[in-house]
Amino acid sequence: MSGKLIFAYINVKKEFSIHVVHYIRQDEKYIQGIYITNGDNGQFRTYRKDRIIAKFDNELDANLYDLADNLEHALDVLEATIPSSKSTSASLNTFDIHFTGFKQADKQRLIKLAEEKELTVRKSVTLTLQLLCVGYNASIKKIEKAQGMGISIMNESDFLNFLETGEILLGE
């Protein structure tokens, strides 16, 4: 899938921001794509559709969006998407993760962190994989394979947040 989506988004930390995403894929719950800021190369991100406050046709309209005028709607979106204590992956026997696109030292550091939290680290994209954590040099073929299998994809910062809070933010 290709294209560009422009939207106002509120994350679980109650941070509001405008996102311009060149998306790769979307399903019923998520939009996954490349989020580009300040002219950099961008980062692969996953967004929950239910946290999108508004969509825009162009960046000018997005920049004119006034959160204060739409605060009630934004708070409703946030309240509806706050994770409950009942929503955990405890029903699964293991939580499988694979790291790709990282320098070896970074990958080993992330593997160690994952294993300390009793996650199962896989050496490849498998049918039992719940999460693919992608670095700056991730293979597009591996990302496409994971997407085709319905595996969630996140970057390093989202993974570190997951380890800290137990919440899978999947971008922002």
Q: What is the pLDDT of residues 36-63, one digit of tens each?
A: 776 667 788 888 888 888 888 888 888 7
> What percentage of the chain exceeds 70 in pLDDT?
78
Cα 68 to chain centroid, rounded: 26
Which of 5, 41, 7 has the alpha carbon at shortest distance from 23? Answer: 5
159-172: average pLDDT: 72
Q: What is the C-alpha separation between 78 and 19, in angstroms, rounded?
A: 17
- 98 CB burial (10 A radius; 0-12, 13-18, 19+): buried
> What tokens were used for 1?
């899938």
What distance in Å separates the CA atoms of residue 21 and residue 18, rounded to the nearest whole number? Answer: 10
pLDDT in tens, 130-158: 899 999 999 888 888 888 888 888 999 88
Give the angle subtended at the CA of 163 by the CAs of 157 and 165, to the nearest 5°. 100
pLDDT for res 73: 66
